Amino acid sequence: MQDIRLRIGTAILLCLSAFISIPGAIAVFLWWLAFSGHVFQVIRMRIIMPVAVMLAFFSAVLALSGGDGISYFIRMMVIVLIGFWVYAEQKSGEFLRFGVWLLGERWGFELGMLADMGLQTMHLLIRDFDQIRLAESLKGFRPGWKTIVPGGVVLVSGALMRAEHTAELLAARGYRNGGSLSPVFITPAKDILLSLTALCVLIIALISVSEFFILYG
Amino acid sequence: MRVVLNDLILYREHWSLSARGSFTDGIHLISGDTGSGKTTLALLIAGLMQPSQGSAEREQVESLMVSFQFPEYHVTGATVREECSSWGGDPLTILMAVNLAGKEDLSPLRLSRGELKRLHLACLLANDYDLLILDEPFSSLDCLEKERICGEISSRQKGITIIFTHEQELFPRVDYIWEIERGSLCCRGPLPGALMVWDHAPVSVKKLVAQGKIPDNITPKDLLEVACRT
């Protein structure tokens, strides 16, 4: 999806649908398989497994304390997949345009810029993490608890240093708050169609399956 | 000992990199513009990245090391002393050599980028590797330090050393010159013949070649000697 406004709106609809009910979550999963276009890319993302393990842990705790852990796991996992889809589609500068369109040139600009910076930092952290892992393996260190602390220290100190440099750069350029921007969006018909399908998914989630297919005994 | 690149190709969305040839014992200099794919090729040669096609074979290479451009990535010690030890070196000897004595108990990340690069290269060059790949080894270093590192690299007696750089001032003694041009690795051959066809040659080398003064090598000493030749 090229239009970030429709993409974010679609993601909100899909997340709501997945959260409401299991049929909704299944419908969202099918939507993700059919329309996201990033299925293989998401499967290859190394972070998907740790996230699934973390969710499985919380689901198990919920199940042991009397809740519906399996339902929670399925619904949250589908929401995570939608999150990965939004992340995979994201392009640099989109949050800034979206922020200005939504909230104007003061708060919208600031929040959009912060979101874009956050995303950029995430990309850099992933790159740093890969390089650190390679450097550690070259030194003969195997991934494990021993390498987590030094690797983490390098990651955090690098991120803090970059944040400081960015702040200094903004201050040096006289930035105080807000900024002017005329956001331009491209909205292909496909984007509108996909958003409408997401709306249908929400309807499926809101109406029970038996009512939807008029399955009365 | 040999590293052979068998029609290696890496495809990316709007970019590709291809390489073929073999690296034998000696010092190989690979130059190329920023963004030409030097770091990517370094990872491919080291086997740390898989190509889309072809292969990189490292024959009889038993020990391998890659020095990344940013020395922070290599840090595993909580202190400078621990960092030296993590490379198997003697902290005192290494720190004396790079003028960092007295900073043993500091965190390596508290050193300046230049100091950390010095420390990293000193630790690295204290070891003998069959294949040593240096990605931009001269970045963050001042002229004096570059000269010292060039001397250290030049004195490597055995093994394959591959230097990726866009350095334009100071070089170690080099045996072969390679270039990355339009996404492809090209071998310019051994020195001094390679100097005649080296597109990324520093201005000083190009001027000398244009005057018909061909240096034996590209170390500062060689360039000075040929420049003074009448």
Measure CB to CB from residue A154 to each of B64, B75, B86 and give the nearest one. B75
Q: Is residue A85 located within the same domain as residue A1?
A: yes
For residue B24, the tally of other CB atoms under 10 A from its CB is 13
> DSSP assignment of chain A, as one string?
---HHHHHHHHHHHHHHHHH-HHHHHHHHHHHHHH-S-HHHHHH-TTHHHHHHHHHHHHHHHHHTTS-HHHHHHHHHHHHHHHHHHHHH--TTHHHHHHHHHHIIIIIHHHHHHHHHHHHHHHHHHHHHHHHHHHHHHTTPPSSHHHHHHHHHHHHHHHHHHHHHHHHHHHHTT--S-----------HHHHHHHHHHHHHHHHHHS-HHHHTT---
Q: Is residue A137 located within the same domain as residue A112?
A: yes
Does residue A207 sit within a domain? yes
Please tell me the distance from the alpha carbon of residue A147 to that of residue A145, in angstroms, as a whole number: 5
Counting the structural domains of chain A, the total is 2
Q: Do B73 and A141 touch (CB under 8 A)?
A: no
Q: B219 to chain A nearest CA, in Å? A: 30
- Residue span of the structural domain in which A147 resides: 104-184
Q: Do B68 and A135 touch (CB under 8 A)?
A: yes
Residue B56 φ then ψ, to 5°: -120, 115
Q: Which of A58, A123, A48, A50 is nearest to A78 (CA)?
A: A48
Q: Do A154 and B70 touch (CB under 8 A)?
A: no
Measure CB to CB from residue A135 to each of B74, B77, B109 and give the nearest one. B74
Nearest residue on chain A to B112, alpha-carbon basis? A161
Q: How confident is the model at residue A217 (pLDDT cuts 50, 70, 90)?
A: low
Q: Strands B160-165, B2-12: parallel, antiparallel or unpaired by DSSP?
A: unpaired
Q: B87 to chain A nearest CA, in Å? A: 7
pLDDT at position A215 over 60: no
Asked if A21 and A71 touch (Cβ cutoff 8 Å), the reply is no
According to CATH, the topology of domain B2-63+128-228 is: Rossmann fold (3.40.50)
Q: Do A154 and B73 touch (CB under 8 A)?
A: yes
- The domain segmentation of chain B, as residue ranges, is 2-63+128-228, 76-120
Give the rounded distance of the alpha carbon of A5 from its chain centre: 15
Q: Do B76 and A134 touch (CB under 8 A)?
A: no
Q: What is the pLDDT of residues B141-183, one digit of tens each?
A: 999 999 999 999 999 888 999 999 988 889 999 999 999 999 9
Does residue A38 sit within a domain? yes
Read off the pLDDT of each residue in B137-142 and give the average, rounded to a whole number: 92
Q: Which of B91, B90, B107, B48 is nearest to A150 (CA)?
A: B107
| Site from B76, B80, B131 to mutate, A interface, most A CB atoms within 10 angstroms | B76
Nearest residue on chain B to A139, alpha-carbon basis? B87
Q: Is the dihedral of CA B163, B168, B173, B179 positive or negative?
A: positive
Please tell me the distance from the alpha carbon of residue B64 to that of residue B21, in angstroms, as a whole number: 19
Does residue A135 sit within a domain? yes
Q: What is the pLDDT of residues B1-35, one digit of tens each?
A: 999 999 999 998 788 999 999 999 999 999 998 88
Does residue A168 sit within a domain? yes
Measure CB to CB from residue A138 to each of B66, B75, B109 and give the nearest one. B66
Q: How confident is the model at residue A36 (pLDDT cuts 50, 70, 90)?
A: confident
Asked if B139 and B162 touch (Cβ cutoff 8 Å), the reply is no
Does residue A99 sit within a domain? no
Q: Is residue A115 located within the same domain as residue A67?
A: no
Q: Is residue A83 located within the same domain as residue A12?
A: yes
Q: Is residue A25 located within the same domain as residue A61?
A: yes
Q: Is residue A127 located within the same domain as residue A85?
A: no
Q: B128 to chain A nearest CA, in Å? A: 13
pLDDT at A170: 92
What are A143-147's contacts with CB under 8 Å, separation 24+? A147/B76
A63 touches chain B (CB under 8 A): no
Read off the pLDDT of each residue in A17-34 and give the average, rounded to a whole number: 93
Instruction: Report pTM.
Output: 0.81
Q: Which of A143-147, A213-217, B2-6 has the lowest mean pLDDT?
A: A213-217
Does residue A94 sit within a domain? no
pLDDT at A48: 81
Residue A12 φ then ψ, to 5°: -65, -45
Token digits of residue A64? 């042991």
Does residue A151 sit within a domain? yes
A170 touches chain B (CB under 8 A): no
Q: Is residue A176 located within the same domain as residue A192?
A: no
